[in-house]
Amino acid sequence: MPNITYIEHDGTAHTIEAEEGLSVMEGAVNNGVPGIDADCGGACACATCHVYVDPAWEALTGEKNESEAAMISFANGVEPNSRLSCQIKVTAELDGLVVRMPAGQH
């Protein structure tokens, strides 16, 4: 199972084993990692699963679709490496992925 490290805004890091095929968001929610709210449960409807993908990993997380791009452009503190973590599927290639969470999702 690929390891993903989620770094909270205050620097606290959580490394968990994520299930392949689930999303990066689900990796956080299923393992009690704080900082990702995921209010809509992965329906790409709320933008509360916002993460910053470490630049070294951006290319491997794939491209945003139109819906995600529209939602994320309005998220708080959006940066070029912002993604909605419910739209990033966990694959073996993402073993070692690092994402950072914003100060708040609301």
One residue of 20, 30, 55, 62 binding another protein per CB under 8 A: 30
Q: Which residue has the tokens 């809509």?
A: 40
Beta bridge partners of 23: 89
Q: Rule CB under 8 A: say whether 1 interacts with another protein.
A: no
Q: Rule CB under 8 A: say whether 103 interacts with another protein.
A: no
Q: Give the C-alpha separation, 20 to 58, whole Å.
A: 18
Window 66 to 95, contacts with another protein (CB under 8 A): 67, 70-71, 73-74
Residue 56 Cβ vs another protein, minimum distance, rounded to whole Å = 28
User: Around Cβ 44, how many Cβ atoms within 10 Å?
Assistant: 16
Element housing 66 (H / E): helix 66-73
Contacting residues toward another protein, per CB under 8 A: 29-32, 34, 37, 39-41, 43-47, 67, 70-71, 73-74, 106
